[in-house]
Chain A
Amino acid sequence: MAQPPILILHSSGTNRDGDAAQAIRLAGGVPHIVHLNHLRRGDVQINDHAALLIPGGFSYADALGAGQRLALELRLWFGEAVAELVSRGKPVLGICNGFQALVRAGLLPGPFEPNTHVVNRQVTLTENANGLFECRWVTLRVEPTVRSSWLQPLKDTLIRCPVAHGEGRFVTSSDDLTQELQTSGLVAFRYQTPTTQPTQPTQPTSACPQSSDARGLYPANPNGSVADIAGICDRSGAVVGLMPHPENHVFDWQRPHGAVGGSGLALFEALVEAAK
């Protein structure tokens, strides 16, 4: 497939579907924004697509907790279809509200069992440490140890992009579990403190900023996530989720200040490549 079709799921309240579609288009994929109603009616099939992207927004107003109702829909209606997509090795990416829904549906960190009634969840995304919605640019490192095969080309690189969420604090049920997520390569992205000064615009755009771990410090780690975890993947490596918005940094002009590099487009290029 030269230009793989990528399904971008829209449910009531989704709002970064257009941003995600643009990133996919620039990365060489063909985005299809599909309303959940069309999937449910069977007008469109998930498995006619080469990847699934669940974008940001406030699905169903997040009235029952961020991504909670979308998670229920995913499990009740599309659990098996998503499991099939994953078993074919096709990438699934959840951004922000999409990440929250994947975690609440049990797809992240998995293992996912589509037919069980209730998910026994060990990790969650909950209210930011300061209790408030926060919008600001952050720096992420793609973990060198990440297990996901489609993230391999990005290992140890930096992405700069904004966060915009109120419930993005990654929490686990125990320190042992946090440790295990890291040792088994399930941690995909971590918040960083950039250490290089903004460079002059004369430098080539391939130059990459330097950084060190945020060590839980605000605002580099904007929400108090444990171990600076901004995103994770499942054991199969196909399913990936993160809170920040790499789809909002796919053009140079979107970057708010001086420093070059760290485009989010690389993430979508990796996804499209894996979907081929």
Chain B
Amino acid sequence: MDFVRSIPLLSNLLLVERNGMTFLDALPILQNGILAGLLVALVSAFLGVYVILKRIVFVSAAISQISSLGVACAFLVAAMLGHHASEVKSQFLSGPGLTSVVFACLAALLLARQVSEKRITRESILGIGYVLPAGLTLVVLDLLSAEAHAIEDILFGNSVFVSVEQLRVQAVTAVAVLLIHLLLYKEFIFTSLDPETATACGMRTRLFNRILLLTIAFTIAVSIMSIGALPVFAFMVIPASAALTLTERLGPAFFLSVAFGVSAALVGFYLSFVFSLPTGPAMLATAGVFLIPGGARTLLHRWRLVGSPTG
């Protein structure tokens, strides 16, 4: 403690008090939440680059809602069999965690299919895939109103108090997803940029596209149970968008996106403690700040174009 007090800026930040407790004192209680938030931000911000480049932002939104419906269904089935929500919660990996992942992965595989847009557009399918599960989840929550609070904890995430089991699942997911992406980086990029040419050159485009979508679905399903659907969606979209407005190369885009995501998670968590804000939205708002440099760059570029003699 004395060591921390001796570092001027750090001591000001870590020893700030809220409700009679300094941030440093609260760290042992908050550490699982912080670590889970950082892991979610890291993987989601990395995958977010693909989400933006493949123009599948609303695929990820629909997957998160379908995954939430999976959680709600696990509780509904358990309630119908006479089990209490606290029992279901204690069997997290074989219960709501499993249904969440299964629903998300099935949704990803269905949404990966090419559809003929003559009668129904892809946009409509995504809209239905987003709103229908969202509505059904609310219906299930209403049916299980007595246990709704326990379910909401899982469904919308409680980024302050994350269980050790959930943290482990989050860490294993992060390592597995990043390893798959390290090994198949070339394949994911080529099949995302130009799937037809990749197929013509002998690549198994459909397989790689499915693996990529499954890594996104798996990450969403696990992450929404740590920090909630809205912040996960934000980490999938905002850091990557901010990064892609700042660079002309893919490597730096991935790096910047992860750096923005992790920074937003850390700063957002800290601000939520200091100002007693809900953690997820605080992270989301902090992530939004990283859009400013890219937005300013774009505006400056346009202004230069207008100002130039040929503009």
Chain A complexes with chain B: no
Residues on B lying within 8 angstroms of A by beta carbon are none
Residues of A within 8 A of B (CB): none
